[in-house]
Structure 1
Amino acid sequence: MIRWFLYPVGDSYLVAAAAAVALLLLLGIGPAREKISPRRRGVLIAVRSAVFAMIVLAMLRPTLVVMETRKQSATLIVLADQSRSMTIRDDLNGRSRWEALREAVANARGGLQSLGREIEVKAYTFDSEPRPAKLVDGRIELPDAPDGAQTAIGYTLEEVLRQEAGKRVLGVFLLSDGAQRTVPPRDALPQTAAARMKHLGQPLYTIRFGQSRGQGQVQDAAVTDLVADPTVFVKNELAIAAQVRIDGYVNRPIPAALLVETPAGKTQTIAEQTVQATEDGQRIPLKFRFVPDAPGEYKLSLKLEAQPGELVTTNNRLSTFVQVLKGGIRVLYVEAFPGRVERRFLIQSLAGSPDIGVDAVLLNEHAPETRPQDFSQRFQAGKYDVYLLGNIDAAAFRKEELAELAATVKRGAGLIMTGGLQSFGPGGYAETPLADVLPVKMDRLERQRPGSGVSKDLHLLGPVKMRPTPVGTTNYCLRLGGTPEESASIWTQLPPLKEGANKFAGAKPGALVLAESEQKEPLLLAQTVGEGRVLAFAGDSTWQWWMRGFQTPHKRFWRQVILWLAKKDEATEGNVWVRLNQRRFTPGQRVEFTVGAQGPSGEPVPNASFQAEVELPGAKKTPVALVQSAEATSGSFRDTQSPGDYTIRVAATQDGRDLGSASIRFLVVEQDLELDNPMADATLMDHLAAMTGGRALVPEELPTVLRELAETTENLEIQTETKKTFWDTWPFLLALVGLLSVEWYLRKRWGLV
């Protein structure tokens, strides 16, 4: 449709009319008749009239408007999941998900063909990435069988949106079981892609194939978890917890075996159990015990016997690693309930030493049921290397327990008692067997009833500055620096014991005073009793060191105290270590680790250099670059695509001197992502559709929805309006200027100007 419209200046015809009248009046003003012939006068009037007419026409601004109706281009996208989970036969009619999908696509051929006449229709199959599928006359050519190893729904949606960027997408149909099963780098969240589709106004229609619970069609016995402490000492009991999931084998006994691979490479079965599920999909916990008898790295594996009809057996076995330490120091730390701040920081400092294991017990005199059943046996010789008694009254122990402890110390165990209102004499230990082994004098008259407060006769009021004596400066426990001068400087900087200390009546003959207050009150005393070493420490607020920024001296002091008591104070330097936060990874997952070297007191070796490599399954070795920071030296490794055992090896040197080496293994679990847990995810499919303004459909609804979309293609027709003007063009301007120039030329030639 073509129409002419006038758009006068100022949106008023009056302005244009007034201008036209004024211009007509100007026509009357011309050259005198006696100066020009009538013919020439008529020519000039004609030229000027043409100029005036063009001016009036420009003021009316005539516009040619052309109205056209055309259809917008649009695209419809169909995504078909061809991963291996689509082979599961959990359809109500006994078909596989893939067979049901193919039938749904075949039934939708008419709708796709009809839409294809109006808009662009594109089809893709996808697993770990989308692939174009041929579409001929509404028929999507699909492979005979799905064989994809992953289902990357989020990545597929993002990639397709990228390829179709700039187009109007009428809708996206996602045909899948809805369960995303993928690994980096294609593990983009489907919700992220759905949020982008919502922003672009592109609805997602989801069609789910498969059951969320399997209805007994999926048969699988899987080990889902295996947990054990990463480190344990030789001949200590290791607790192992596991979990298995049983699908499709209700009330069927399934044998489970715990296998151990020793440092020598020998594999043996150490425990067997039978699991039996009472309902489909049940998760059953298992517990095992294992006592390693030699140091080294052990590989623990829980294995379920393969069952008839299982689709995948790679998840029937799960492994982890445990490091068994030789000569580890076992510490029993006993304190009265509820425990002090000092206890928390002391345990935290000792936890940083991999060769020291602390069993902490809080005794509550008023709740005897909380007392460990084997508590009395813990004082027998050989159970622990060091005993640490905090603020706890002697009445909390049985007399025979303290007698056993005194005998164990004389046979070689270490003992330290720390300060507190109920420690030493105030705690009633003067009349116990420990009076013979502690290096301080005690009297029964010092006995202080619990809750009676601080007695100035028995306690030094804080703050109390602690400093080594001349004898103490040479003792291993108090060496906080690399040199005597550095150690003395650190002791000077340490904050005082804010909460004071116990006031000892004096040292026993033969006892050594290692540290004292500025008033020369003894604070740390040492003594050898029989084969054992004993310390009496009057303080109970070294946690102030930690809080004031002296964490390293705090850790070193308590580590050296334990090492000295356990007679491990002659350890050699160069203890190289490598640590992992976890020992089990999935294929493609990034592995991060830290390395280091420490001296005999646990302090980091300065200026240490490290080299690391990773041995992959098949004995291939790959060097790994390390990054050194103020906190630690760390490395990362990403080539973990192949399942199996990997070994990280680290060598350390200091100024060209070899410090030693260390190694640690980790496992990349062999996973069948598609069949380990092939349940459909209806919740995700419904959520994605709702997010984008689409709909969650059943397969039978697909043809109907396609017909509805075909009807909406009429809404794609839009009217376009094209305006053409000539009064604001160069030809019009040139014509106007040309007429004015002609008039001027004629007037000049005829002698009128």
Structure 2
Amino acid sequence: MNSFHIEPIYDSSLVALAASVVIVAVLILVTPPTEDPQKRRWLMLLRAIAGLVLVVAMFRPGVVRTDTRAAEATLVVAIDVSRSMTLPDDEKSDRWTHQKQAWQSLAEGLEPLADSMNVRLLSYGKTTAELPNPTPATLDIVVPDGELTDLAAAATGAIAIAQGQPLAGVVMMGDGTQTAPIQGNGAERVAQTLKAWGVPLWSVPIGPASGPSANRDAAIDALPESYQLFAGNQFEVSFQVPLRGLAGISVPVQITWIDENGKATLAAQRRVLSETANSVGDVSIPLIAPAPGTYRLNVEVETQAGELVTTNNLQTAFVNVREGGGRILYIEGESLYEQRFLRMALRRFPDLDLTYQWIPRDTASRWPVDLGDWFEKGRFDIYIIGDVDADAIGREQLAELAETVGAGAGLITLGGYHTYGAGGYASSPLADVISIRMDPSRRRDINSEIQPNTPDQIAGPISVQPARRHPVTDLGGADPVRVWKTLPRLLGANRFVGPKVAPGVQVLLETTDGAPLLVVGEFGRGRTVASAFDSTWQWWREGKSEAHRRFWRQVVLWLLSREEDSTEQINLELDARRFAVDADVGFRATLTSIAENQSIDFVAEILDESNTITPVTDLADTSEGNSQTVTGKIPKLIPGYYRLRVGPRDTASKLNSENLAFQVVDQSREMTMPMADPVYLRQLADITAEHGGGSFSYEQIDDLIERIAKRRKQAEAPVVEKFTLGDDPLTGWILFALFATALIIEWTLRRRWGFA
């Protein structure tokens, strides 16, 4: 509505009227001094124009316009850009597609309100960010890759983005599932703030709610990360199958071997039946270890109809299959240092299984001890007889042991006061098996007092030297003799009568004056080792643990006919073999050398399945004695299978690189919590219901637009606009220009015509 008004000078119409009368009187009474009527009319006209401008300027006429419209405000639309929006919404499309459709419809529907409402678009995940210049097509270039969802951050960001301008409302789209840690009262506190301000919150839930069909999930869990196996051995694969929403359904599970070349071989199949809506099935399946090599063992449950998350349907274990393991029976009569350190050394190797049996001398009244089936063929691969009397085992069991060694088992006899001839073995069934000659006259009574300086003993300290080159005594280095000279001397040893003269019998270690200390031989298809000493624990105690470990391992492997290359090896370890993308995982590569103060420049690399190399930087190198350790961190990698390779930088080095496979898995909370929470979004919107807040599905955007328009209509208020002539620079200058122009022209004409 428009109306006319005047605002005279000094707010007085009388003053303006009086001034106008004076102006008119001057125009009438003061006439131009000429008798020419035409010239008189022109001059009077110009004076009249100037006078009229003055009269108008004194009365200041204007127009008042009264209108009703909403004051300008900001509408904030928050859209969810977390990874869970890539999950299915229904059978036709995913959540992100439906959210884009909802935004497009909303943006187009709000265009008629653009004059009074500024739309701001906010993306939220773990953090928030404004999307500039929002259009219906803005989300076409946005990627939902957020690792967490923080609804409180979204609501807080919506308030902050308005930047002091009145809020017309907040529209929050998304699946409503809070995956980020909640700080304080979360989104509810922000909704209460909006309520206090009279600002409505409108939610648009997207995604299926929990329910019998939408909550379906089958997974594999609790599978060990790795196995160390021996070829041909049976082992148990144990894991769990959590099932949700699959009551009464038999779910297939299969186990597959994946070799180094990527070839898959089906190992086993089972079916797991869930009798309740939520169950966890414990499954244990016996398998036979394949040929030696490295494998991935995949355990997978078949994807079920309606499953939203399938990344948990498969778990992988890393398997190292060795060429047959060694089962060792160690029988000892003296619980002294040697047995303790020997057991500790052999148990460090995953391919050796050690069983220990102590037969104390104070049990002699109950000898022989019944050892059950331990001496049966195939029960153990190697037998170690320590300082134990032959009567403690008994002739029958020793005879069975002799047959087992002849059939292919290995035998180690150690030094001591009750071994060999002194222990009664010269007259036992093992006399033909042991590779040295024994004197029955040296038999020592079990209860007799031990004299250290006896003819069958060599008094210490004793220096040991190799008698010949052999895999058992090759401890590495260019000069094995020099390595043996660095080892601590032994405390004493048995004095052998001498080695047997037979094929395969060899003296490998001897004293500096030629007395045999270690004699190897063969019996049937088995191998034997006769050791005169029992104080190699001294090596460990004096910092030569690697030499101790390698020596006894090489003895065992020679008995198994599996001579090991004496080349030094890197021991590579990972904190975990299967870990999440964001996990902080370290590794250690340890090289323990016989030679001290040896330093290797190591390099570490990550290889993916296509053998693309990613170098590992920031390695930490520490050395202590003859041990060198390199540590580092696995860099951030995308989900997949990888190999960690650590080796010498010098490619000409004899030291081989070591590889260790691992898996990076996607364990994002966004992807493991697939259910939407529309109820929570509805509750947030209902907090502001008294101000028009509410919840709408993505298919009800038209209703939401109507609600927003109605809300803006309710916010309309009378707006009065007043226009007064001369108040603004434009009209003021126009009046001045008319007045000045009229007077200038009038003065110019008077001069031209010669008037005073």
TM-score category (smaller protein): 0.5 to 0.7
User: Contact 1:347–1:358 (CA<8 Å) still a contact in 2?
Assistant: no
User: Contact 1:82–1:127 (CA<8 Å) still a contact in 2?
Assistant: yes
Shift of 1:649: 4.5
The unaligned stretches of length 5 or more in structure 2 are 1-75, 90-94, 99-119, 133-137, 164-171, 186-192, 194-202, 361-370, 693-756
For the pair 1:555 / 2:549, whether they are aligned, the reply is yes
| Cα distance in 1, alignment partners of residues 390 and 513 from structure 2 | 29
For the pair 1:467 / 2:462, whether they are aligned, the reply is yes
Tell me what 2:319 maps to.
322
Shift of 1:416: 1.2
User: Contact 1:608–1:655 (CA<8 Å) still a contact in 2?
Assistant: no
Shift of 1:260: 0.7
Secondary structure of 1:436's partner?
coil
**Which of these residues, 599, 613, 621, is aligned with residue 621 of structure 1?**
613
Which residue identity lines up with residue 234 of structure 2 in the other structure? Answer: E
Tell me what 1:17 maps to.
none
Tell me what 1:436 maps to.
432
Tell me what 1:645 maps to.
641
Secondary structure of 2:540's partner?
helix
**Which of these residues, 524, 527, 536, is aligned with residue 530 of structure 2?**
536
Tell me what 1:359 maps to.
353
Tell me what 2:716 maps to.
none
Shift of 1:591: 5.2
Secondary structure of 1:346's partner?
helix
User: Contact 1:441–1:505 (CA<8 Å) still a contact in 2?
Assistant: no
Tell me what 1:282 maps to.
279
Equivalences for 1:107-146 in 2 at 5 Å? 126-131=124-129
Q: Deviations over 1:38-57 (max 9, x none)?
A: xxxxxxxxxxxxxxxxxxxx
For the pair 1:415 / 2:411, whether they are aligned, the reply is yes
| Cα distance in 2, alignment partners of residues 624 and 382 from structure 1 | 46
Equivalences for 1:329-728 in 2 at 5 Å? 330-335=326-331, 342-343=338-339, 345-351=341-347, 357-363=351-357, 386-390=382-386, 402-418=398-414, 432-438=428-434, 439=436, 440-441=438-439, 446=444, 448=446, 455-456=449-450, 465=460, 467-469=462-464, 472=467, 477-478=472-473, 482=477, 483=479, 486-491=482-487, 493=488, 506-507=497-498, 509-510=500-501, 524-537=518-531, 542-569=536-563, 571=565, 573=567, 579-589=573-583, 592-595=586-589, 606=598, 608-625=600-617, 627=619, 628-630=621-623, 631-641=628-638, 643-649=639-645, 652=648, 656-657=652-653, 659-671=655-667, 673-678=669-674, 702-703=687-688
User: Contact 1:653–1:659 (CA<8 Å) still a contact in 2?
Assistant: no
Shift of 1:577: 6.9
Q: 1:305 to 1:530 in 2, by over 3 A?
A: same
Q: Percent identity?
A: 28
TM-score, with structure 2 as normaliser:
0.56
Shift of 1:212: 13
Shift of 1:220: 0.6
Secondary structure of 2:405's partner?
helix
| Cα distance in 2, alignment partners of residues 282 and 80 from structure 1 | 35
Q: Deviations over 1:314-350 (max 9, x none)?
A: 2111112212234x66241434799776555434433
Q: Deviations over 1:220-271 (max 9, x none)?
A: 1101132265433333334422222111113422111111123343212111
Tell me what 1:236 maps to.
233
The unaligned stretches of length 5 or more in structure 1 are 1-76, 91-95, 100-121, 135-141, 168-172, 181-189, 196-202, 367-374, 686-696, 708-753
Secondary structure of 2:249's partner?
coil
Q: Deviations over 1:159-205 (max 9, x none)?
A: 989x99xx9xxxxx99964444xxxxxxxxx48x779xxxxxxx9xx
Shift of 1:561: 2.6
Secondary structure of 1:227's partner?
coil
User: Contact 2:589–2:646 (CA<8 Å) still a contact in 1?
Assistant: yes
User: Contact 2:326–2:560 (CA<8 Å) still a contact in 1?
Assistant: no
User: Contact 2:124–2:153 (CA<8 Å) still a contact in 1?
Assistant: no
Q: 1:703 to 1:606 in 2, by over 3 A?
A: same
| Cα distance in 2, alignment partners of residues 705 and 409 from structure 1 | 92
Q: Deviations over 1:116-164 (max 9, x none)?
A: xxxxxx9976324333599xxxxxxx999x9955553699979989x99
Q: 1:357 to 1:434 in 2, by over 3 A?
A: farther
User: Contact 2:382–2:559 (CA<8 Å) still a contact in 1?
Assistant: yes
| Cα distance in 2, alignment partners of residues 398 and 276 from structure 1 | 55
Shift of 1:398: 8.6
| Cα distance in 2, alignment partners of residues 650 and 619 from structure 1 | 15
| Cα distance in 1, alignment partners of residues 399 and 255 from structure 2 | 41
Q: Deviations over 1:200-225 (max 9, x none)?
A: xxx9xxx9x99999888521110113
Shift of 1:274: 1.8
| Cα distance in 2, alignment partners of residues 316 and 310 from structure 1 | 10
| Cα distance in 2, alignment partners of residues 239 and 293 from structure 1 | 14
Tell me what 1:247 maps to.
244
User: Contact 2:398–2:428 (CA<8 Å) still a contact in 1?
Assistant: yes
Q: 1:446 to 1:648 in 2, by over 3 A?
A: same
| Cα distance in 1, alignment partners of residues 675 and 400 from structure 2 | 59
| Cα distance in 2, alignment partners of residues 155 and 555 from structure 1 | 59
Tell me what 1:716 maps to.
none
| Cα distance in 2, alignment partners of residues 176 and 502 from structure 1 | 78
- Work out the number of aligned pairs and report it: 557
| Cα distance in 1, alignment partners of residues 395 and 273 from structure 2 | 48
Which residue identity lines up with residue 456 of structure 1 in the other structure? Answer: I
User: Contact 2:418–2:444 (CA<8 Å) still a contact in 1?
Assistant: no
Shift of 1:705: 13
User: Contact 2:387–2:418 (CA<8 Å) still a contact in 1?
Assistant: yes
User: Contact 1:598–1:605 (CA<8 Å) still a contact in 2?
Assistant: no
Shift of 1:655: 8.2
Q: Deviations over 1:430-481 (max 9, x none)?
A: 6653343234556796464xxx7x8415999999745345565766545557
For the pair 1:301 / 2:298, whether they are aligned, the reply is yes
User: Contact 1:329–1:566 (CA<8 Å) still a contact in 2?
Assistant: no
Secondary structure of 1:271's partner?
strand
| Cα distance in 2, alignment partners of residues 524 and 321 from structure 1 | 40
* Structure ID, larger Rg: 2
User: Contact 1:469–1:514 (CA<8 Å) still a contact in 2?
Assistant: no
User: Contact 1:232–1:323 (CA<8 Å) still a contact in 2?
Assistant: yes
Shift of 1:533: 3.2
User: Contact 2:148–2:670 (CA<8 Å) still a contact in 1?
Assistant: no
Tell me what 1:218 maps to.
215
For the pair 1:269 / 2:266, whether they are aligned, the reply is yes
| Cα distance in 2, alignment partners of residues 213 and 238 from structure 1 | 40
Which residue identity lines up with residue 554 of structure 2 in the other structure? Answer: Q
Q: 1:660 to 1:508 in 2, by over 3 A?
A: closer
Q: Deviations over 1:623-649 (max 9, x none)?
A: 4447343232345442411x2222344
User: Contact 1:228–1:240 (CA<8 Å) still a contact in 2?
Assistant: no
User: Contact 2:214–2:307 (CA<8 Å) still a contact in 1?
Assistant: no
TM-score, with structure 1 as normaliser:
0.56
Which residue identity lines up with residue 222 of structure 2 in the other structure? Answer: D
Tell me what 1:27 maps to.
none
Secondary structure of 2:303's partner?
coil
| Cα distance in 1, alignment partners of residues 596 and 156 from structure 2 | 52
Q: 1:573 to 1:276 in 2, by over 3 A?
A: same
| Cα distance in 2, alignment partners of residues 281 and 459 from structure 1 | 75
Q: 1:702 to 1:425 in 2, by over 3 A?
A: farther
